[in-house]
Structure 1
């Protein structure tokens, strides 16, 4: 499935997978997902440390599933383009960490990836509505960025609704992605609010059959849109 053509994008988060077996985790969901969500954390922007360019390079060689790199890092102007150059399908950086989001988005697109803007839990989306035409994806955190396994915060879906209204009135080709606590009992509300790309970690890699879990998530999201 081509991610750009999918009505509903399912992007399981490798943060919830066994880091010693990431290639196996990718293989376990291939054919059932659109993207693989890769959480890059630097222990500065968020108090957690995960993976970086060498692992992304290895993943790119190990799977044909497009990589959706979510950079929870300081100074994305310095590092983000490198992920695009490694072949990431989409590179998302945090609005809170960027000095010039529009220029960085243009650089990412020029390097061959989609450009994504992430909005953390406590950041108003309204501050960034006017620059959405520069982006391919708007990622709205439905938890506080930094750790997997947190409880979904339904009040943050108001940001999704606001962004979807702006996308529709502005005729924008914009993915609205949600990340945090997405599972079978929450994905419907996120889809109804206007999200069309869904990051799920524990709900996928904590399941006995990760591919089947992804298919169930897709069905529930599609039923609510």
Structure 2
């Protein structure tokens, strides 16, 4: 499968959000990555469902929604109704993760789990068969523009090994500090989805930045 690119709307120009949505629509990107932050689970507040609904109204590609919030179960239905096709919750925020994943799937959405940099992938062993996507945070969540944490490469490999033969369709998403300098190696060790914020929206040509990430070549093979 060709890897997927999910530009992170958090890094867009909110004064020209419609223009940035249209740019992503026309680009080679696959998803819109939507970060919902509550100022409690992470030390920042992003935007809520009204803004997400406005994005969904104009988006021509799936909304990949990352809930960086406490008690995400309270907002799953609102998330779906606001346009989400993939809903990712944090392992660290869910007391009953298996139940939460089931609730997401009952809404008709793909179910994802995000892990903070300090959280080992081994903690997902008992739910790995129930997950459509695992989002590995390669920075500490809450702010854009952070430096990529190198330990992420080993976590990708460990997760791919753990899922082998149990959930071979699992998508591994990498969120934080992703760009041209590390994209090839991320894909080489098993990543499927690259979330790109600053490296896309701060580029001189965001469309070209997306194209570059979409067409990363590693080794002798194009991914």
Q: Which category of TM-score, normalised to the shorter sequence, fits these structures?
A: over 0.9
Match of residue 160, structure 1, among 152, 156, 161: 156
Verify the 8 A CA contact 1:14 1:39 in the aligned structure 2.
yes
- Structure 1 window deviating more from structure 2 (51-60 vs 78-87): it is 78-87
**Under a length normalisation based on structure 1, what TM-score does the superposition of the two structures give?**
0.93
Q: Does 1:199 align with 2:195?
A: yes
**Under a length normalisation based on structure 2, what TM-score does the superposition of the two structures give?**
0.94
Matches within 5 A, 1:129-148: 129-148=125-144
Verify the 8 A CA contact 2:144 2:198 in the aligned structure 1.
yes
Where 1:130 maps in the other structure, the secondary structure is coil
1:208 counterpart residue number: 204
Where 1:116 maps in the other structure, the secondary structure is strand
Which structure is higher in helix share? Answer: 1
Deviation at residue 171 of structure 1 after TM alignment? 4.1
2:145 counterpart residue number: 149
CA distance in 2, matches of 1:34, 1:149: 21
Q: RMSD of aligned C-alpha atoms?
A: 1.5
Matches within 5 A, 1:97-116: 97-116=93-112
- Structure 1 window deviating more from structure 2 (171-180 vs 136-145): it is 171-180
Which sections of structure 2, spanning at least 5 residues, go unmatched? Answer: none
Where 1:183 maps in the other structure, the secondary structure is coil
CA distance in 2, matches of 1:165, 1:175: 13
For residues 28-86 of structure 1, give each alpha carbon's deviation from its aligned partner in whole angstroms, at most 9, with x where no partner exists.
12241110101110000000000111111111111111111111001111113321232
1:86 counterpart residue number: 82
Deviation at residue 23 of structure 1 after TM alignment? 2.1
Match of residue 174, structure 1, among 170, 173, 177: 170
CA distance in 2, matches of 1:214, 1:33: 6
Match of residue 77, structure 1, among 73, 78, 81: 73
Matches within 5 A, 1:38-53: 38-53=34-49
Verify the 8 A CA contact 2:62 2:85 in the aligned structure 1.
yes
Q: How many residues align?
A: 220
Deviation at residue 111 of structure 1 after TM alignment? 0.9
Deviation at residue 99 of structure 1 after TM alignment? 1.0
